[in-house]
Amino acid sequence: MPLAQLVLRKLDQFPYFLGAFLASWALLGHLRHGDWFSRRRIVAFGGFLLATQTLVFGFLIATSYGLIAPQAKPLSTDFVSFYAAGRLAASGSPELAYDQSAHYEAEQDATEVGIAYRYFFYPPVFLLLCSALSRLPYLAAYLLFQATTLTFYLIVIRGILREAGSAWLIPVLAFPAVFWTLGYGQNAFLTAALFGSATLLIDKRPIAAGILFGMLCYKPHFGLVVPLALAAGQRWKAFAAAAISVAGWISVSVAVFGWDTWHAYLTAFFASGEISDYGLVHFNPAGFISFFSAARLAGLSVGLAHAVQLAATVSAVVFVCWIWWRNCSLPMRSAALAAATLIAIPFAVLYDLMLATIAMAWLVRAGGERGFLRYEKPVIAGIYLVPLMALHVGITLRMPLGPLPALALAALCVVRASQESADAARSAAEQSGASVSR
């Protein structure tokens, strides 16, 4: 084709290119300022996602129980691990919860012979709750546990968001990690609720907040950075209350179950690293959200993966201590603590992203009070969708999406904290100038 004709043809197409460019620029503007993410659209999309996931969840339940097609092997959830451990504790042999053969036998007695074994590495503090639940039939115990902890979680989220009405429930319940938690029968609602309620109370009722933080000792790695943040922020009442709370719950568990149970737990705990690191159980890094699992998914050795996790943990500690030392606003301190916890812990699964909703809720509250940052709404929307895609993307493309929500949340906290500091400095300068002029 002659050059002149080629130029004329391209010029003929120029309006289309210009229109596409302007449309893309306009879309980028909507994303940058978050105009597209109106309350009506968020609720509508949340409703669609909630309905879709509910249908899929119902289909999976029917499949699991052989209502659609017979299963080659019986299936179970992680809750069977809690229930079986509780039964052993209630029968007077709590130390057997950490004996794999006895625990596996109790799991099969509670459900069906031939299910996959679910390990129990929780400290005896958690056995107090498991023992109480085991007094009920298995299905009733599962439903009570999930319904109660989900309700607790929703009450906390509403307290953070300060939302009236019930429309906020739709996007909150549509968060994909909710279905991961329900499907696995896990305790992520309880963890997020304890963590979130402690952040709600930290300024006005520090002793109550410390007690709630201390109750996370049932899942101790989720309290890894809490004492460091409290110390950096000089929240000594909360710090002391948390320490007393942990000591109190441990003392109660020793009094109820005896020291032999704690010895059995510690023996199992120190062996758990070998199980997750070297594949003594099925370990699929795509289903995990820690930096260790991301490094393993990327093909790094166990040693290098531990080094990556150590660097992430140290960075998380520095980040959260900086936020709390600067005494940033409550939403920033709370969101940073939740994000740093997810970065710092070496073992976390997709359902543990329920803790990310605590950080997101605090950031949404900050945006409602002070205005949203550029791209903040689309970033939060992206975080919202990660648990929906992370497992499949990780398995098919070997791309570790799991750590992205915590990283993105931490980045938003840093930007907001820096903005708060700049606003405070500007306000102080204006007040100083006004006093001098007088």
**Residue 112 counted as domain residue:** no
Distance CA 101, CA 134 (A): 19
DSSP 99-128: -HHHHHHHHHHHS-TTPPP------HHHHH
**Residue 319 counted as domain residue:** yes
Distance CA 413, CA 356 (A): 13
Closest residue by Cα to residue 153 from 305, 341, 357: 357
CB 410 within 8 A of CB 340: yes
CB 188 within 8 A of CB 177: yes
**Residue 255 counted as domain residue:** no
**Residue 395 counted as domain residue:** yes
**Residue 305 counted as domain residue:** yes
* Tens of each residue's pLDDT in the chain, 438 residues: 443 343 334 334 434 333 333 333 343 444 555 566 778 888 898 899 999 989 988 887 777 666 666 666 777 889 999 999 999 999 999 999 999 999 999 999 998 888 889 989 899 999 999 999 999 999 999 999 999 999 999 999 999 999 888 899 999 999 999 999 999 999 999 999 999 999 999 999 999 999 999 999 999 999 999 999 999 999 999 999 999 999 999 999 999 999 999 999 999 888 765 555 544 444 567 788 999 999 998 889 999 999 999 999 999 999 999 999 999 999 999 999 999 999 999 989 999 999 999 999 999 999 988 888 888 898 998 888 888 888 888 888 888 888 999 999 999 999 999 888 777 677 666 676 655 555
Go through 373-400 and write b for each residue having 16 or more CB atoms within 10 A of its CB, e for each that does not.
Answer: bebbbbbbbebbebbbebbebbeeeebb
Instruction: Write down the pTM of the prediction.
Output: 0.88
**Residue 376 counted as domain residue:** yes
Q: What is the pLDDT of residue 432?
A: 65
Q: What is the pLDDT of residue 22?
A: 37
Distance CA 246, CA 38 (A): 43
- Total domains in the chain come to 1
**Residue 145 counted as domain residue:** no
Distance CA 131, CA 128 (A): 5
Give Cβ neighbours of residue 250 (< 8 Å, ≥ 6 apart): 123, 125, 217, 262
Provide the terminal-to-terminal Cα distance of the chain, rounded to the nearest Å: 77
Residue 341: domain span: 285-422
Q: What is the pLDDT of residue 435?
A: 59
Looking at 91-205, list the stretches that DSSP marks H as alpha helix, in order from N- to C-terminal side.
100-110, 124-133, 138-161, 169-173, 176-184, 188-201
**Residue 320 counted as domain residue:** yes
